[in-house]
A and B are shown apart, each in its own frame.
Chain A
Amino acid sequence: MNAPASDTGLMAQNLFVSHGRRMVLHGVTVGPFGPGTLNAVLGPNGSGKSTLLRAMSGLVPLRGAVTLDGQDLGRLRLPARSQRCLYLPQSLPEPMQITVIEAMMAARHVMPAPVRQQAAPSPPAALPDGRGTRVSTIGTAGSTLPGVAADPTGCAGQIARGSLPNGTSSGPEAALAWLEHMGIAHLAMRGLRELSGGQRQLVGLAQALSRRPRALLLDEPLSALDPYYQQRVMDLLAHEARETGLVVVLVLHDLNMALARCHNASVLNDGRIEASGPPETVLTPALLRRVYRIDACLDTGASGQRFLSVRGVAPAPRSMA
């Protein structure tokens, strides 16, 4: 029997998804992911992470329920659903002959998002370990994130200076404002086919953010980015979450990124949830050995930050024979 839907945030309950005869998700329940939080979906290759995000966004048929702020998203048609809960696929935008600013305009034009309904953005839920506070102080001098600068790229200050257009404007100036927000305004008049994979990934992310959804589902958004832009994108997501109450769910392979930047981690293995909760309680050596087959442990850095040290591949279990 399903748990009652949460009134706030994003929640998936008892999801079953199959590809042909093969069951990919076996009754997966995740969330509720509260407004203003960053939530990692972790797991080895082929564990069903992308399928989970695609199912939550309505792109694949499923059995189960996905709710956002208490509303059953399954009752909405796909265009209306994407307006509230937007999925960004892992694949990059095709390298077509179109400028970046036009790609932005097109993404905003296909379905102008309405101005957010909520009167004021909800702050992130204050977590017992002060994570909510951590996110809310991003960009200020005193970060509460142990060992990691709150705004390592100085991006948040830049974000705060510019006012972003609301969801209804789809003109070139609105597109440009979002490119500036992402720090890629210099690419505005470049053709998509001239860009590197990482740059196209940033354009795709800018397209998704500019739609101002209530929840954003990102499939490996950092996979093609260099370390600078990885940090910068995480800053941006944290900023958006804090300022607008955006719910961010992102598939990550970088466990330390999840540990350092996310409020929750849900670990999938073979289509089932292995563990869910704050990353430092979820990512235990036993789980990493069982799910990822690596020998790793949680360490504490000089400035108090927690990080994973990977020693190598875990030895194969002894044969029972």
Chain B
Amino acid sequence: MNNIGAADISDAGATGVGRAYATALRRRLGVLGLLGVAVLASLIADIAVGPAAISPPALMHALFSPAAAPPETVLILWQIRLPYALMAACVGGALGLAGAEMQTVLANPLASPFTLGTSAAGAFGASLAIVLDWHVGGVPQTWLVAGCAFVFAVIGVVVLDLLTRLRPADTGTVILCGVALVFCFQALVSLMQFVASEDTLQDLVFWTLGSLNRATWPAIALLGAALACVVPFSLRAAWGLTVLRMGEERAASLGVDVPRLRRAALLRICLLSALAVAFVGIIGFIGLVAPHIARRLVGEDHRFYLPASLLGGAFILSTAALVARVLVPGVVVPTGIVTALVGIPFFLAIILRRQVLS
């Protein structure tokens, strides 16, 4: 994390303000620590709970000594539960971070990869690759689908950015353009479903429902690597994003290269949301809900807000994934359905609260 300023506090500590600021910093770092612990706890619960009743000691044994553990336990742990749990945390974190950056660069608290069509665009790209059965020599299908989802997610974000720039955009305009994109890409996904063969239709339904069941280690590695690459750049841009949140003209006047900052943020948003949708389909509302919770917990100093949104997203999706498995005994409900059911009331609450405030 870039320059929290904790070292400087001692000098300012002589004053009450210095002490209050140091306390606020400690509190926020504490909140981040608690969120980290919560993510870890939900991850452990995700691994421990499942239809096959495996005791925690057996799981630990299979985790640390797979060669000596029963093969079926090793298979369940390493091929089902661990990928499922880790993918939930990675996708949640990616969508949480992407949502937080999106809300800042589009100056809109209702922005998220799901509500503004990025996820739908990515799903269309992925379904295009599946239905047309594209192959590029030597490239595995998983990566090709992810690449195609990425390209269309970029197109979705760029189109949204252009639409909102054609006319001076207020909050409503951005949302309406995003809703238009959602409908447009959902119609295209439906078209793909219509022309798809029976074999590929099942794959396509997967995109629209959003499910963690197909998590694989290469996909987790790719998403994890993307997160590891993006997070340092996000944190490096934290000050600029904080100033941008104060107003675009103010940021520009204070020397922030706004177009460059915005382009870089949109690229990060594309990368994270496109990879997330490419591997697990459309998971709604995480990118919307996590930033709002992070804002409540640590405020909008992006040094804290971005990591809190990432951890919050990871925690919410991890918990939702757990709920999706225990909701109906013996059946794993697609996680996208669970997040949507929880997210829609939250979405309405934000809109109603904004109307009351205005």
Contacts and interface: CB of A to CB of B under 8 A. Distances in A.
Contacts of B20: 188-189
Q: Is the interface of B mostly helix, strand, loop or mixed?
A: helix
Contacts of B251: 110
Given A79-B256, A110-B256, A111-B254, A191 B299 contact: yes
A106 B295 CA distance: 17
A185 interface: yes
Contact of B242 (A80, A83, A106): A106
B246 A172 contact: no
B250 A91 contact: yes
A55 interface: no
A31 interface: no
A176 B246 contact: no
Given A101-B21, A172-B21, A207 B254 contact: yes
A88 B254 CA distance: 8
A25 to B, nearest CB: 18
Contact of B12 (A96, A97, A98, A172): A172
Contacts of A77: 257
A173 interface: yes
A82 B299 contact: no
B79 interface: no
B209 to A, nearest CB: 35
Contacts, number: 112
B24 A57 contact: no
Interface in A78-119: 78-80, 82-83, 86-89, 91, 93-94, 96-99, 101-103, 105-107, 109-111
A110 B254 contact: yes
Nearest to A90: B249
Given A91-B247, A99-B24, A173-B11, A59 B252 contact: yes
A102 B8 CA distance: 13
B253 A59 contact: yes
State the 4 A-B residue pairs at the shortest beta-carbon distance, nearest first.
A171-B8, A111-B255, A173-B12, A82-B255
14 contacts: A59-B249, A82-B254, A89-B250, A93-B246, A102-B301, A109-B239, A110-B254, A110-B255, A111-B256, A172-B8, A173-B11, A185-B17, A189-B17, A189-B21
